Chain A
Amino acid sequence: MPPHSVPDTRSETPAIPAELERPQLLEVYRYLRLTRVLEERLVALYRQSKVIGGLFRSLGQEGESVASAYALERGRHRDILSPLIRNLGSMLVMGARPIEILRQYMAKAESPTGGRELNVHFNDLEKGYLGQISHLGDMVPVMAGITLTFKMRGEPRIGLVYVGDGATSTGSFHEGLNFAAVQRCPLVVVAEYNHWAYSTPPEKQFAVKDLADKAKGYGIHAVTVDGNDVLAVYAATRYAVERARRGKGVHFIEVKTYRRKGHAEHDDQSYQPKEEIERWAIENDPVDRYVKQLVANGWAEESELAEIDRSAKDEIDQATDACINEPLPQSETALPGVYAHPPAAERLWFRGP
């Protein structure tokens, strides 16, 4: 056991697990809170019709998103992850700024995609995140190719790709995972069993009990963890990441969690039992559980956490104020950039200047 986790017998504070230290625990908490506050702000903006398209919440899943990303090596040209719509938290961990996400949702000219793409569909490969497309499962083959490149070049980098329980039904998921397994790519797959693929429950999606059972068919290391236990997800991902980095191939982590909001904000969730949502909210909210753990173990003071809450809210307030009145993109900017050459698509004759 490393020296920093030796229990302090005088105060009887339990050791912090997974080789984490107190500042890191607080940093994880900050990302959790930032995710939740940012999404709550987006709901307000959605209701004001400032968000142009749909709004997707990760309420109840912030824990696994933040904790899994936190296990990666971050910085310029380090590990790369590919987030899904409910992995906003993982992007913040990798260095995406809240203002970028606000601008994306509001289709601002200054958004990372210049208003071309929605919500969290954007990337910064230097910081280490590759935006998804809407076709579920497709990022698995792409991340197989990215991690294959790490391996070919002998770079000590790994990739992490998120898939939902529904996406495990796709052909791309199967092809990509099998390809990566055969090539022993340094890839970690985080499969989010959040109980609902839009309105479809697990028993209509697959006939296995755990997604980890599927992974066994690929000859890869697979584990199921409590997705709302932040430190358990961190520890499992850390283990998988380190093994992948050491050339042990693909690792599959199933995180059991629960999608407490609808597929998108418009969704009335009529298919989800109310009691089920309430039970998860009351008994199994990942942020609440994490706070209790921090405080009960003496790893953080409530006042410290309250201060983080305030600063997260301030950050989101400032980001919102900074971009809310920005313009949408100029129409003509729709034409360039389909190809490297030619530089822009032809403006059609009936749209003459």
Chain B
Amino acid sequence: MAEVTFLEALRQGLSEEMERDERVFMLGEDIGAYGGAFKVTDGFQKKFGAARVIDTPISEAAIVGAAAGAAHMGMRPVAEMQFIDFISCAYDMLTNYVATARYRAGLATPIVVRGPCGGYVRGGPFHSQNPEAAFLHTPGLKIVYPATARDAKGLIKASIRDDDPVIYLEHKWLYRRIKETLPEGEIFTPIGQARIAREGKDLSIITYGATVWKALEAADQLAQDGPSVEVLDLRTLLPLDDEAIVTTVKKTGKVLIVHEDTRTGGLAGEITARINERAFEWLDGPIMRVTAHDVPLPYAPTLEDFVLPQTEDIVKAARWLAAY
């Protein structure tokens, strides 16, 4: 079996769902004739037709709103944000209309809004964002954030088949960097389940997305002379897998939360609160965070690398916490 990239795995998942279910269709900017800014949907319009792979105007609110309307009528739309930074233009539609539809009106709105997120690629302030925290606060939405090729495929399938609206975040740094040999047959990653990416006994790193790989790298380095690190890859951010979080906390007693998103109001705060409520007595040290600095993400390599969490930051923090 050949290795596939994260991006190819995602493509496979999308394509297989389009083949499986004629209710699935896609809409977004430049996704059809051009195949998408990152070529995620390259060849899709030729294969599935222009009616199912729709090139839209630059109108994120209309893309999400139209997806919602189609979903009410029984369709399974997959809306692409060309860069996930632009999802903010659809914030009202997602948080006020889509997220509340089932609760206030009994309307099923099974849409997927997906797009490339994340930094480490010199994209600057508007092509590098991680928007999860802005939507974590909204009951009615689900958020998934795969870190592996297998989960890229498994979670896009789960998201398309889910009866609730899902924001699917795909880290562009992982698109072509991550390669994996996928098993034959159906790959499906259930929403709401975290994954132990590495077993360890002294300290737990709870993370997701690109920083899963940085945490694993850090764990490797620490294996020589430092703590034995367990890495929990959350995979789904909303709803959080509380059981998996509590289990790893009870196992190691020390928690380092790592995310690429900025610090204040980020996901780490929510995870910290949950551990405090559910596993306080099991802690042997303060819950610590390694995150981006609280600034818009700058462009120059020297600036971006300084602002974003790096492997060496995780190593340093883990050593400090292990010694606590």
Contacts and interface: CB of A to CB of B under 8 A. Distances in A.
Contacts of B75: 149, 152
A141 B104 contact: no
Interface in B83-115: 92-93, 96-97, 100, 102-108
B25 A152 contact: yes
Contact of A113 (B60, B62, B65, B105): B105
Given A133-B100, A338-B103, A176 B65 contact: yes
Q: Determine which residue in B25, B61, B239 has the highest number of CB atoms from chain A within 10 A of its CB, and name it.
A: B61
A61 interface: no
Contacts of B164: 339-341
A131 B256 CA distance: 46
Contacts of B60: 175
Nearest to B75: A149
Nearest to A182: B57
Contacts, number: 133
A141 to B, nearest CB: 3
A142 interface: yes
Range class of the A interface residue count: 35 or more
B163 interface: yes
B104 A135 contact: no
B154 interface: no
Contacts of A280: none
A130 B73 CA distance: 11
Contacts of A143: 69
A123 to B, nearest CB: 5
A336 B57 CA distance: 37
A178 B65 contact: no
B96 A138 contact: yes
B37 interface: no
B72 interface: yes
A334 B25 CA distance: 34
A179 B59 contact: yes
Nearest to A114: B106
Q: Determine which residue in A143, A145, A150, A182 has the highest number of CB atoms from chain B within 10 A of its CB, and name it.
A: A145
Interface in A101-140: 113, 116-117, 121-123, 125, 130-131, 133-135, 138, 140
A92 to B, nearest CB: 19
Contacts of B163: 339-341
A42 to B, nearest CB: 21
Contacts of A341: 162-164
Contacts of A123: 105-107
A244 interface: no
A138 B68 CA distance: 11
Contacts of A121: 104-105
B69 A148 contact: yes
Contact of B57 (A131, A142, A175): A175
B246 interface: no
8 contacts: A122-B105, A123-B105, A130-B107, A145-B68, A145-B70, A145-B71, A149-B75, A341-B164
The 9 closest A-B pairs by CB, nearest first: A145-B69, A141-B65, A145-B66, A340-B163, A175-B62, A175-B59, A179-B62, A146-B69, A142-B69
Interface of A: 113, 116-117, 121-123, 125, 130-131, 133-135, 138, 140-150, 152, 171-172, 175-176, 178-179, 182-183, 337-342, 345
Given A141-B65, A152-B25, 19 more contacts: A121-B104, A122-B105, A123-B105, A125-B72, A130-B72, A131-B105, A142-B69, A145-B65, A145-B67, A145-B73, A146-B69, A152-B70, A172-B92, A175-B59, A176-B66, A179-B59, A338-B103, A338-B139, A339-B102
